[in-house]
């Protein structure tokens, strides 16, 4: 029997505040799977008309699938969150694009008719599990020159991308980073970010005082409001002597989790669930691993071609800021100005942080908020570079679109 492809929608998305990785970070004594559980529970609280028994799948991504990020997170986090045991789940790994891939994976199932509604998200606790913990790269990668050795170090790939784009100077990268911090601070001041944050109770230990207490995390820890070009100019370039990549124009090492509800549009409307974005197309592409930051460009070209759109049709961009140079390369390729108002309106990962496998859904929640505020915009995209030479792009349609600029 022939099947018809169903419209897939982004119903809702939430995230924990993002923290700094390491012993001084807010989540140092918080488990990774507990962060996912909090996000899932918040989704269910916000959407009381979603019967948990109707959830068909839980797909949760993590880059380092070990310890409290192992054991088939989608299944275990679902049980811990109180979902019925009839709800299955699984884990995903596409490094930085983990949560994005979780969304596209379940979206394919929804479009095909295998699912009506699913949960998708990701987590990364880089404090507990540094990137690459426990991995054993095959020596053939280097011995047979399958990839350049720098491909194994993300900061070095960013320096390589600077080499490819000599017009993208350290000054341009720093200027972009300052704008990201400024936009994030303004988004917080305007109440744009807090709406989708899940407050997290954390235990804090003051070793000097010998005290342990509890606190409530409600904001992103990595943000550096008030950052100036002067602040950034003197930072070290750890990946290359006299290089261009610094801790100021790149995302840091972070902890955090995200989760989203993905459903067929018919199911969402029949069950009184919001429809915040409609999926148009998605694509993944591979590039040379040593310039992985280039990945969003071919991924976007493929996604645009699938949708029958051009870059000029895109009214809003949410581009993950793993490194400033990666965003700037994308913008330069498409002839978009560094400070174009359509790009990362609320700021990006340079300010908020980038807990690897969780970040894709952060991009989506921010785009969904912008769609709500800007009904004159029809299409937006979320895109990110991916470790070991990949890019990932999802194009979304605004269900509130009205060419006259008035919300329906």
- Which residues are identified as catalytic? 96, 354, 385
Residue of 66, 118, 114, 113 whose CA lies nearest to 93: 66
171-192: burial string, b at 16+ Cβ within 10 Å, e else: ebbbbbbbbbbebbbebbeeeb
Q: How far apart are CA 385 and CA 292, in angstroms?
A: 6
Beta partners for residue 262, in sequence order:
10, 118
List of residues 6+ apart from 79 with CB closer than 8 A: 85
The Cα–Cα gap between 308 and 286 comes to 21
Other C-beta atoms lying within 10 Å of the C-beta of residue 243: 16
Strand ranges, E, within 40-181: 58-61, 90-92, 117-125
What is the rounded CA–CA span in Å between residue 229 and residue 216?
A: 32
Tokens of 199: 């407050």
The encoded tokens of residue 142 equal 């280097």
Helix (H, G, I), strand (E, B) or coil at 223: coil
**CA 326, CA 349: separation in Å to the nearest integer?**
12
Q: Cα separations (Å) of 324 from 208, 321, 388, 406?
A: 37, 6, 18, 34
Helix (H, G, I), strand (E, B) or coil at 166: coil
Q: Any residues with CB less than 8 A from the CB of 259 and at least 6 apart, and which? A: 13, 14, 15, 36, 39, 40, 42, 43, 60, 119, 120, 121, 361
């Amino acid at each position: 029997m022939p099947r018809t492809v169903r419209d897939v929608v982004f119903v809702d998305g939430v995230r924990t505040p993002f923290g700094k990785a390491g012993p001084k970070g807010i989540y140092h004594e918080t488990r990774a799977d507990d962060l996912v559980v909090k996000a899932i529970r918040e989704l269910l609280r916000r959407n009381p008309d979603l019967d948990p028994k109707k959830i068909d799948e839980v797909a949760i991504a993590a880059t380092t699938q070990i310890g409290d990020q192992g054991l088939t997170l989608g299944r275990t986090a679902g049980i811990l969150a109180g979902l019925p045991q009839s709800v299955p789940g699984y884990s995903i790994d596409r490094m930085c694009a983990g949560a994005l891939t979780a969304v596209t994976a379940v979206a394919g199932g929804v479009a095909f008719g295998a699912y009506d509604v699913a949960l998708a998200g990701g987590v990364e606790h880089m404090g507990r599990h540094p990137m690459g913990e426990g991995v054993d790269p095959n020596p053939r990668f280097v011995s047979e020159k399958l990839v350049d050795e720098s491909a194994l170090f993300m900061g070095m790939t960013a320096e390589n991308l600077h080499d490819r784009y000599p017009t993208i100077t350290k000054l341009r990268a720093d200027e972009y980073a300052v704008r990201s911090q400024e936009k994030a601070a303004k988004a917080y001041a305007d109440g744009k970010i807090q709406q989708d944050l899940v407050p997290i109770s954390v235990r804090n230990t003051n070793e000097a005082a010998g005290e342990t207490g509890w606190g409530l995390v409600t904001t992103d820890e990595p943000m550096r409001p008030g950052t100036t070009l002067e602040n950034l100019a003197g930072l070290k370039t750890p990946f290359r002597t006299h290089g261009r990549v610094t801790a100021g124009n790149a995302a840091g090492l972070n902890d955090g989790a995200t989760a989203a509800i993905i459903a067929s549009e018919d199911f969402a409307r029949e069950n009184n669930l919001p429809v915040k974005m409609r999926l148009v197309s998605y694509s993944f592409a591979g590039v040379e691993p040593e310039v992985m930051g280039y990945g969003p460009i071919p991924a976007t070209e493929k996604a645009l071609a699938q949708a029958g759109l051009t870059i000029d049709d895109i009214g809003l961009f949410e581009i993950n800021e793993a490194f400033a140079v990666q965003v700037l390369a994308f913008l330069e390729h498409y002839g978009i100005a560094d400070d174009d108002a359509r790009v990362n309106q609320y700021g990006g990962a340079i300010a908020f942080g980038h807990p690897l496998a969780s970040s894709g859904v952060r991009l989506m929640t921010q785009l969904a908020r912008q769609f709500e505020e800007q009904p004159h915009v029809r299409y937006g995209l979320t895109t990110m570079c991916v470790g070991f030479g990949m890019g990932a792009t999802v194009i979304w349609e605004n269900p509130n679109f009205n060419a006259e600029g008035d919300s329906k």
